[in-house]
Amino acid sequence: MRFLRMTGLALVAGFGLSAAAAHAAQAPSPTTAAGSAAPADDQAVSELKEHHRHHHHGGITKFISMSLDTLGTDDAKRPQIEKLQSDLHAQMGPAREAEKNLQLTLADGVAAGTVDTVKVNAAIAKLTTAADPMPEASLDTLNKLHAILSPPERAALVDKVQAHWEVWRQVNHEEKPGGRERGGQLAGLTEKLSLTPDQVNKISAALHTALAGLPGKFDPKKGEAHMHAFSAAFAGDSFDAKSVRSNANAHLASRGATRMALFYETVTPLLTPEQRTKLAEHLREHASYQSATSGK
Amino acid sequence: MNRSLVTMLTGVVVASCLASAPARAGVVVRIFPPAAFMATATPVYFEGHAAYWYGNSWHYRDGRNWRTYREEPRYLREYRTRREPERRYYGNRRR
């Protein structure tokens, strides 16, 4: 009898578990999408994350511009789209130059073994000021862009801008300071500079302390508000860029640049001279980054 | 005795119900493109939306949700055989 009871219970439990597992497997989860057939961190993804760790100057406007890289419009529209993208690059020019100045200042400091925080803070302030206004011309460019794109293309652009925002937020806000996870900034630095285990331990602890006390916390709600306002407006049949009241560009530029600077200020004293030379070169490459479309 | 029989019978009933549910053996784990993929992949426009080739399937957004073509549409299959869906690389050395 005891045997029969146990058998019955086992059957219930076993099939109950099977049902739960099957249900879980069917539930879609966009955020846990990585599968063996499509690695989560392939080369393109790694390079995008690295780009977003170093380029903050245009805020959401830069995400719009970057989204045009992969929008996949038909060939007939491509020249017009590239022209508008080039215009957006030009309109973000002052902020981009300020960011370049910051990266070169950081590179000099890394190479020398000590980052000049006074110079760096001044460079960040210039970048923030340059990124703040939405130039009248860029509003016109966005209106022209809306007019050229078909409804599916507009929807795709909005998806892409949101995707860039999500990645930017992940690597500049949500990533654990000093975390050693695969695809993280410290993991990338370890590979790039062949850091020793002892260096990794020290850098991880130092980043944890430094970034935890990051001055002026990033407020993702500001970015969300800008994203939401742009997405809702741009997906519609009519669009006026002036109607997008939120502007988080300066906030993203300022917070992203501050985090980037603090990262390099923190790791520099823990590197060998050879590693510093290599890292400085890496920063100079970012400073001279040129978009394929604009050449700027 | 009666309780044992009830328990056992419950197990049998549940088991038979689950076994008869359709497609349980063919459950497919759905894979949707993550943000970093979306930001670097060029879509193909089909049936009024942007479709992305990811994880060996075509996916598209339908409002806030993702949908997946269970069978690859002919247009998209032919597109894919003509040219690999493009990715964008943002590395400093390979633009």
pLDDT at A9: 45
Spell out the residues 6+ positions from residue A161 whose beta carbon is closer than 8 angstroms to its own: A60, A63, A64, A67, A227, A230, A231
- Chain B window 4-33: which residues touch A at a Cβ cutoff of 8 Å? 4-5, 7-12, 14-15, 18, 24, 27, 29-33
**B54 inside domain:** yes
What strands lie across the sheet with B44-46, from one edge to the other? B44-46, B49-54, B57-62, B65-68
d(CA B18, CA A162): 40
Distances (CA, A) of A117 to A55, A124, A242, B2: 19, 10, 37, 80
Cβ proximity of A159 and A231 under 8 Å? no
Q: Look at chain B and report how many structural domains it folds into.
A: 1
Residues of A in contact with B55 (CB under 8 A): 33, 35, 37-38
State the residue range of the domain holding B17.
2-82
pLDDT at A19: 38
**B7 inside domain:** yes
Q: Among all residues of chain B, which has the CA nearest to that of A295?
A: B95
pLDDT at B8: 52
pLDDT at B31: 75
Nearest to A30 by CA among B68, B40, B69: B68
pLDDT at A26: 33
pLDDT at B19: 42
**B95 inside domain:** no
A35 SS3 class? strand
Nearest to A131 by CA among A160, A99, A103: A99
pTM to 2 decimal places? 0.81
**B92 inside domain:** no
Inform me whether the C-beta atom of residue B35 falls under 8 Å from chain A C-beta atoms. Answer: yes
Q: Among all residues of chain B, which has the CA nearest to that of A25?
A: B29
d(CA A263, CA A283): 12
Regions of chain A where pLDDT drops below 70: 1-41, 291-296
Record: contact B4-A8, CB cut-off 8 A = yes
**B59 inside domain:** yes
Residues B29-74 pLDDT 10s: 667 899 999 999 999 999 999 999 999 999 999 988 999 999 999 9
Residues of A in contact with B86 (CB under 8 A): 70, 72
Other CB atoms within 10 Å distance of the CB of residue A86: 18
Record: contact B38-A285, CB cut-off 8 A = no
Reported ipTM: the value is 0.82
pLDDT at A39: 54
**B93 inside domain:** no
